[in-house]
C-alpha cells in the first residue's frame, strides 16, 4: 500500500500537458520532446479547437500548447472558450511567418493565453533541439501560473477600464521607459489602456519576445489600445504622444535630445535588446524627468536601469506579485530598492499619468 501511494505521488508531480495541433508531424515532435523530460507527461492530443475544449474539460491538464491555425475552431476561439469556462495555462505555439496567424496569437494573449513561442523550421535536428529547449522551459515555468477566468463580457474587470480624466496638462519634456518579459504583452496592453488617449509624453518599451514577433506585437498593441505605436528607429526623435517598442536583436538608447540610437553591441546580461541599457540611457538623458517601470518577467533585466533613474531623481515603479505572470524582474526591483512602489497592473497606467 505504501509503495503504491508513493508511486501515485510521483506521478502527480508531473506536469500534465495537452497538445492542441493539427499537424501530425508537429504533434509527433512535440510529444517526443515533452515526454523525454521526466517532469512532463503528455496526457492528450487534440487536432482541432473544439476537441481542445472537450479534452481540457475532461483531462484537466496543467498546461495546454495551442496552435492557432486549426480546423473547425481556430486556436484563438478555443483559447477564449477555455479561459471563460475552464481557465488553464495556455502556451501559444505559432508561426511568425503569417500576419493573420500572428495577430490571432496576440489576440489569444488578450483573452488569457500566457505566452507565445515560434514553431520555426523543423528540417534539422539542431532546429528541433533549440525548439525543444525553449518549449520545455516555457512549459515548466507557465504551468505554475495561476490563471483567472476571462469571459468576454468581463474583460474590463482585469484592468481595461477607462482612466480618470487628467486634471492638469501633460508635459512632453518627460519620458517613460518600460521593461517587460514573460507575460509582458498582456501587461503592456493593460498599462497602455490605463494611459489617456490625449497623453502628451513619449513612452519607450523593451519587451523580451521570441524573434519574429516584435512587429506583430506592435501591430497588436496599436489595434487594441488605439494609440500611436511604432518600432523605434535609429536616427529619429521620440515625440510626445507616441509609444515606441525596441526592435529585436539590437539595443535601443534615447540620447539627450530625444534622438534614438540603436546599438549593435553584444547582449547585456543575456538580453538584446536590454531593458537596462534603455533605462540607463533615458536616466542620463532626462534625469529627474524620467519614469521607469518594470513589469512581469523572469530574471532581473531593468533593475540596474531603474536604480539609475532613481539616483538621477526620476520616479520608479513596478508590477505587484498578485498580477505578475512571473514575479521575477519586479521582485528584484522591489527587493533592491530600485522600485519605489509596486502596483497591480490595472493601476500602473493611471499612476504613470499621475506622476507625469
DSSP string for residues in 243-312: EEEPPTTSEEEE-TTSBEEEE-PPPBTTBSS-HHHHHHHHHHHHGGGEEEEE-SBSS-TTHHHHHHHHHT
Q: Which of 208, 207, 177 is nearest to 308 (CA)?
A: 177
pLDDT tens, position by position, 227-283: 999 999 988 899 999 999 999 999 999 987 788 999 888 899 999 999 999 999 999
Give the ranges where the chain is alpha helix by DSSP (H). Answer: 2-12, 24-36, 49-59, 75-85, 99-110, 125-142, 184-193, 214-225, 275-286, 303-311, 329-336, 345-355
**Residues annotated as part of the active site:** 181, 208, 301
- The residues pairing with 20 across neighbouring beta strands, listed in sequence order, are 46, 66
CA 260 to chain centre: 24
pLDDT for 159: 41
CATH fold label, 159-355: Rossmann fold (3.40.50)
Cis omega (within 30 of 0) for bond into 273: yes
Ramachandran quadrant class, 107 (left: phi over 0; alpha: psi -120 to 50; beta: rest): alpha
Annotated domain spans of the chain:
2-152, 159-355
pLDDT tens digit sequence for 341-350: 999 999 999 9
The pLDDT value recorded for residue 151 is: 60
Phi and psi at 148, nearest 5°, equal -115, 165
Domains 2-152 and 159-355 agree in fold: yes
Quick one: 2-152 is in which CATH superfamily? Response regulator (3.40.50.2300)
The yes-or-no verdict on residue 124 having pLDDT over 60 is yes
Q: In angstroms, rounded to a whole number, what is the distance separating the alpha carbons of residues 74 and 159?
A: 26
Q: What is the pLDDT of residues 71-111, one digit of tens each?
A: 999 999 999 999 988 999 999 998 755 566 777 888 888 88
- Cross-strand partners of 245: 205, 231
> Does 293 score more than 50 pLDDT?
yes
Instruction: Provide the pLDDT for residue 347.
Output: 96
Grid coordinates of 281: 540611457
Among residues 19, 32, 137, which one has the least CA distance to residue 78? 19
**163, 167, 315, 166: which is closest to 225 by C-alpha?**
163
Please state, as a whole number, how many other Cβ atoms lie within 10 Å of the Cβ of residue 212.
Answer: 15
Rounded Cα–Cα distance for residues 342 and 320 (Å): 5
Around Cβ 270, how many Cβ atoms within 10 Å?
10
Query: How much is the average pLDDT of 312-333?
Result: 96
146 or 23: which leads in pLDDT: 23
**Per residue in 215-229, pLDDT tens?**
999 999 999 999 999
Q: From CA 40, how far away is CA 33, in angstroms rounded?
A: 10
pLDDT value at residue 155: 40
Amino acid at each position: 500500500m505504501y509503495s503504491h501511494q508513493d508511486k501515485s505521488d510521483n506521478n502527480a508531480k508531473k506536469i500534465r500537458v495537452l497538445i492542441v495541433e493539427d499537424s501530425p508531424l508537429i504533434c509527433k515532435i512535440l510529444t517526443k520532446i515533452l515526454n523525454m523530460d521526466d517532469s512532463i507527461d503528455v496526457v492528450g492530443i487534440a487536432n482541432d479547437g473544439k476537441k481542445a475544449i472537450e479534452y481540457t474539460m475532461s483531462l484537466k491538464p496543467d498546461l495546454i500548447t495551442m496552435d492557432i491555425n486549426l480546423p473547425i475552431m481556430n486556436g484563438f476561439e478555443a483559447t477564449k472558450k477555455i479561459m471563460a469556462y475552464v481557465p488553464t495555462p495556455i502556451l501559444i505555439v505559432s508561426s511568425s511567418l503569417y500576419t493573420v496567424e500572428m495577430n490571432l496569437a496576440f489576440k489569444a494573449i488578450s483573452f488569457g493565453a500566457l505566452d507565445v513561442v515560434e514553431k520555426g523550421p523543423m528540417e534539422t535536428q539542431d532546429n528541433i533541439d533549440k525548439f525543444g529547449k525553449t518549449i520545455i522551459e516555457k512549459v515548466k515555468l507557465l504551468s505554475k501560473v495561476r490563471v483567472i477566468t476571462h469571459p468576454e463580457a468581463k474583460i474590463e474587470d482585469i484592468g481595461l477600464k477607462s482612466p480618470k480624466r487628467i486634471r492638469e496638462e501633460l508635459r512632453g519634456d518627460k519620458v517613460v521607459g518600460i521593461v517587460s518579459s514573460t507575460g509582458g504583452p498582456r501587461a503592456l496592453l493593460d498599462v497602455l489602456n490605463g494611459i489617456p488617449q490625449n497623453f502628451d509624453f513619449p513612452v519607450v518599451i523593451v519587451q523580451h519576445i521570441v524573434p519574429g514577433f516584435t512587429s506583430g506585437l506592435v501591430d497588436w498593441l496599436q489595434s487594441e489600445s488605439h494609440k500611436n505605436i511604432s518600432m523605434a528607429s535609429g536616427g529619429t526623435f521620440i515625440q510626445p504622444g507616441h509609444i515606441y517598442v525596441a526592435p529585436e536583436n539590437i539595443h535601443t538608447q534615447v540620447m539627450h535630445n530625444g534622438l534614438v540610437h540603436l546599438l549593435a553591441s553584444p547582449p547585456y546580461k543575456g538580453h538584446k535588446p536590454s531593458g537596462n541599457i534603455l533605462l540607463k540611457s533615458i536616466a542620463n538623458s532626462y534625469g529627474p524627468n524620467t519614469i521607469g517601470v518594470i513589469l512581469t518577467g523572469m530574471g532581473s533585466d531593468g533593475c540596474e536601469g531603474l536604480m539609475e533613474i532613481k539616483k538621477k531623481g526620476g520616479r520608479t515603479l513596478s508590477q505587484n506579485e498578485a498580477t505578475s505572470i512571473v514575479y521575477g524582474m519586479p521582485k528584484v526591483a522591489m527587493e533592491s530598492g530600485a522600485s519605489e512602489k509596486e502596483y497591480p497592473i490595472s493601476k500602473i497606467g493611471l499612476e504613470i499619468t499621475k506622476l507625469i
